[in-house]
Chain A
Amino acid sequence: MSEFEPTIVAFFCNWCTYTAADLAGTSRLSYPHSIKIVRVMCSGMVDPKYVIKALLEGADGVIVSGCNPGDCHYINGNYKARRRIKLLKEILPQFGFEPERLRLTWIAASDGLLLSEIMQEMTEQLRALGPSEARLKMVI
């Protein structure tokens, strides 16, 4: 039986985490192809709807990643993102979504290595968890 390969939708901020992903690439670091990157200008522009829709459409995990606190290109977008993720992390588990399926991280532009490690780790966690219920069941 082939190993389950999760799908992770990743919202990366243009200035830090997306740049880190770029750096990971140019540094020839590998990260799992389970991750589908959506570049956004700021983690603070990730509408909770995007996360909800991705999870309901069958993404096994969603990761939002931005600049470290204090480093936001737009001053405080990442703090706003943190409150929104906090909100979603209170709502979604009530409907059975495991906490591993939604992650928020800060990855600086220079941290290609950290990005590669985090993606590896998250993929392994989701592999262990198995496919999301939304992928297996009919969701109206």
Chain B
Amino acid sequence: MAETALIDVKEHNLLAALRGFFKTVLKQEEISAILVPRRLPVTPTVMPTLVTDPKHLDAADPLSPAFPINAAKIVSRLTRRESGGKVAAVMRPCEIRAFVELVKLKQGRTEDLVIIGLDCLGAFSNRDYFQWISEDADACTEKFCSVMLTGDSSGGSRELASACRVCEQPVPAGADITVGLFGVDTAGRIPVTAQSAAGEDLFAKLGLRVGEEPTARRKAIEKLVAERTAARDAMFEATRATVDNLEKLTGYLANCVNCYNCRVACPVCYCRECVFVTDVFDHEPSQYLRWAARKGAVKMPTDTVFYHITRLAHMSTACVGCGQCSNACPNDIPVMELFRTVAHRTQQAFDYRAGRSLDDKPPLAEFKEDEFQEVVGIEA
């Protein structure tokens, strides 16, 4: 049974309350370190930071709309082998989903890890974030929270990143401990809930005041999920129409320069070495001339569409929709829209949802003898 406690928010300072909670977690003997989004010195950049000294938590900012990297890959680095210690990781819902996918691919472990998930208020694109942030970063984060939680945009606002606008899973499923924000009076008390055995273990030691989750949270989540799902479906429809033949797809990807940033940023692009940077694609100069001679013209660098469709074949069933691909694109190609649209269909085809459960095997890691008969044969 999920157990809930309430944390007091003093003087309307939500960030301070969360920092205090993280300090309490870090104080536990069994927790060696806490991984948390933290502001870096000099710049307002927020990066996942592995903290052992509680004073560094004063710069922790898990609510900032900065999302420069999907931390699933970081948590994978921390857990892929035994570390000799236990880490608490503060993650966004899409980061947790991506991490679940990596665990299934044996690129991460859930032992010695406690995942703390917050209701996700979303993030800006990297570009927007740096245009928006000002010197008083705490005040900026506060303003952002009030826009997202109460709709009060008097302090000025920006649109969320495209991925966040269509994110229908803003609640941290798969976390060991969750912190609720939606529908919660964040100037009063915020609910913290243990969601797993590991979460309950830690929870019992934190000495928090037991309470009840505000009923408004469930309702606020339902409303948000319904809005986001509608936005998502509209995005799917628009994207489908934009790429429904090869010529249109070529147009969609025309600004791609094969930098492969999207797959570097992708948390579930799991290959240790991408085939597109191996000798396989280190073509002989004469090869290019032959291609050009056969087709009359060949765009350089070659294999752009090939790269994207291959990546779709590799990771679309694991796509969690975090949008880091779009964030990483130097030429503003709407990569997330394309990948999520295709991924939605491939995941449906295998009755799979990326990040849903550690128990679902990745679709291409298993088979049944009696399935998909309809793809065999040459009848239309």
A residues apposed to B, CB below 8 Å: 48-49, 52-53, 56, 63, 69-70, 76, 79-80, 82-92, 94-97, 99-100, 103-106, 118, 121-122, 125, 133-134, 137-140
Contacts and interface: CB of A to CB of B under 8 A. Distances in A.
A139 B372 CA distance: 31
A48 B364 CA distance: 12
Interface stretch (B69-77, B165-173, B196-204, B297-305): B297-305
The 3 A-B residue pairs whose C-beta atoms are closest, nearest first, are A96-B245, A79-B367, A48-B313
B96 to A, nearest CB: 25
A94 B369 contact: no
Contact of A95 (B243, B346, B363): B243
A2 B312 CA distance: 38
B162 interface: no
A138 B244 contact: no
Contact of A140 (B250, B312, B350): B250
A86 B375 contact: yes
Contacts of B244: 94-96
Contacts of A138: 250, 295, 297, 299
A80 B306 contact: no
Given A95-B249, A139-B305, 20 more contacts: A49-B306, A52-B306, A52-B310, A76-B367, A80-B367, A82-B376, A84-B313, A86-B349, A87-B363, A91-B312, A91-B316, A91-B342, A94-B342, A94-B345, A95-B243, A95-B244, A105-B376, A125-B380, A139-B250, A140-B253
Contact of B367 (A63, A83, A92): A83
B240 A82 contact: no
Contacts of A118: 378
A134 B367 contact: no
A94 B364 contact: no
A85 B367 CA distance: 12
A82 B364 CA distance: 10
A125 B378 CA distance: 9
Interface residues of B, number: 43
B380 A49 contact: no
6 contacts: A49-B275, A82-B371, A87-B349, A91-B313, A94-B243, A94-B244
A106 to B, nearest CB: 7
Given A53-B306, A105-B377, A138-B297, A88 B246 contact: no
B293 to A, nearest CB: 14
Given A49-B275, A52-B313, A69-B369, A90 B246 contact: no
A97 B244 CA distance: 9
B234 interface: no
A49 B363 contact: no
Contact of B254 (A84, A89, A91, A140): A140
A79 B309 contact: no
Interface in B191-227: none
A97 B345 CA distance: 15
A140 B305 CA distance: 6
Contacts of A76: 367
B29 interface: no
Contact of B378 (A91, A92, A105, A139): A105
A95 B364 contact: no
B313 A88 contact: yes
Nearest to B347: A90
Contacts of B378: 63, 100, 103, 105, 118, 121-122, 125
B137 to A, nearest CB: 41
B317 interface: yes
Given A106-B376, A121-B378, A137-B246, A56 B367 contact: no
Contact of B246 (A91, A100, A139): A139
